[in-house]
């Protein structure tokens, strides 16, 4: 059953910790570093 609560984490370690707590809701691990704002074209 899908929950109406979605927990979005930044990385696997927090996701694993939340799963151990058996909290209510779905957990999504967001692993994208550049998820906000414009990016600089010359990043190396």
Range of the structural domain that residue 16 is part of: 1-32
How many alpha carbons lie under 13 Å from residue 29 in its C-beta half-sphere? 10
In tens, the pLDDT along 1-44 reads: 466 899 999 888 888 999 999 889 999 998 876 667 677 777 66
Domain annotation covers residue 43 = no
Position 25 in a domain: yes
- Residues sharing a CB contact under 8 Å with residue 4, sequence separation 6 or more, in sequence order: 25
Q: Is 2 a domain residue?
A: yes
Do 8 and 17 contact (CB within 8 A), yes or no? no
As for how many domains the chain has, the answer is 1
Report if residue 17 sits inside a domain.
yes
Q: Is residue 7 part of a domain?
A: yes
14 lies in some domain? yes
Q: Is the residue at 10 inside a domain?
A: yes
């Amino acid at each position: 059953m899908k929950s109406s609560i979605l927990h979005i984490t930044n990385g696997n370690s927090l996701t694993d910790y939340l799963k151990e707590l058996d909290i209510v809701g779905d957990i999504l691990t967001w692993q994208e570093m550049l998820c906000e704002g414009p990016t600089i074209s010359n990043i190396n």
